[in-house]
């Protein structure tokens, strides 16, 4: 599925977020990446979050299991080390990275808790994690959210080239833990000082934390 949507992935991201996804990625990098850091961007897709870390002055590895996504990423930059691999079995040694990021990717991992433990494994003690992900809002925006994700996004998936794969999106968001539950999972995986902030009225959340020493 991810190979199929690769040619349209960036355009759909811009459309579904009204272009705000770029700003959210910059904020994520600003929270946890420092110049000179060795950074892993897991589930990197077409590489936008990895490139934001590169612009921050980091040495970046972008990992994804979709070769077609990586083809798109490689066309954007040769300075990032693009690697095909699975977040559940990262091809890196223990304590390899100063920071890890995941942008709109952990929602699709088969075993979320195992994936978080793998991210913790490859982080140096005191290293930082940033997870940017769609979530379910509460309050005034909840009805709009249901309209957008349950009706409009599947409709776009039917009418746009290659968009049919996006019909999976509403169900994947509903299955994903809410911000409080994800924070608890991060703590269980060995991260400390975990906190999160919401964007766009609660539709997207950024979780950050540190690898326990």
Q: What is the DSSP string of 125-171?
A: EEEEEEEEEE----GGGHHHHHHIIIIIHHHHHHHSTTGGGGGGHHH
Q: How many CB atoms lie within 10 A of CB 170?
A: 18
17 pLDDT tier (thresholds 50, 70, 90): confident
User: Range with the lowest mean pLDDT among 22-36, 53-67, 127-141?
Assistant: 127-141
Residue 9 maps to a domain: yes
Residue 145 maps to a domain: no
Residue 32 has pLDDT above 80, yes or no: yes
pLDDT tens, residue by residue, 100-137: 999 999 998 999 999 999 999 999 999 999 999 988 76
Residue 56 maps to a domain: yes
DSSP letter for 33, please: -
Residue 52 maps to a domain: yes
Task: Name the 3-class secondary structure at 210.
Answer: strand
- Provide the domain count of the chain: 1
Residue 73 has pLDDT above 70, yes or no: yes
Could you tell me how many residues make up the chain? Answer: 213
CATH number of the domain where residue 184 is located: 3.40.50.150
Residue 57 maps to a domain: yes
Give the pLDDT of residue 13: 80
Residue 62 maps to a domain: yes
Which residues lie closer than 8 Å to 19 by C-beta, 6 or more apart?
Answer: none
Residue 15 maps to a domain: yes
How far apart CA 178 and CA 194 sit, in angstroms, is: 14
Domain with 63, as residue range(s), is: 2-136+177-211
């Amino acid at each position: 599925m991810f190979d199929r949507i690769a040619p349209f992935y960036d355009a759909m991201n811009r459309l579904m977020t009204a272009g705000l996804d770029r700003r959210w990625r910059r904020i994520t990098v600003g929270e946890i990446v420092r110049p000179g850091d060795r950074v892993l961007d897991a589930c990197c897709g077409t590489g936008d979050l990895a490139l934001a870390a590169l612009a921050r002055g980091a040495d970046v590895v972008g990992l994804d299991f979709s070769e077609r996504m990586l083809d798109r990423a490689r066309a954007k930059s040769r300075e990032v080390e693009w690697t095909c691999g699975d977040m559940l079995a990262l091809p890196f040694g223990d304590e390899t990275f100063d920071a890890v990021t995941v942008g709109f990717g952990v929602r699709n991992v088969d075993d979320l808790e195992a994936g978080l433990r793998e991210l913790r494994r490859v982080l140096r003690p005191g290293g930082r994690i940033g997870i940017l992900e769609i979530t379910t809002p509460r309050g005034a925006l909840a009805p709009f959210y249901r309209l957008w994700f349950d009706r409009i996004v599947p409709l776009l998936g039917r009418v746009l080239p290659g968009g049919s794969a996006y019909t999976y999106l509403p169900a994947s968001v509903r299955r994903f833990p809410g911000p409080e539950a994800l924070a608890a999972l991060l703590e269980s995986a060995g991260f400390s000082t975990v906190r999160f902030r919401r964007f766009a009225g609660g539709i997207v959340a950024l979780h950050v934390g540190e690898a326990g020493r």
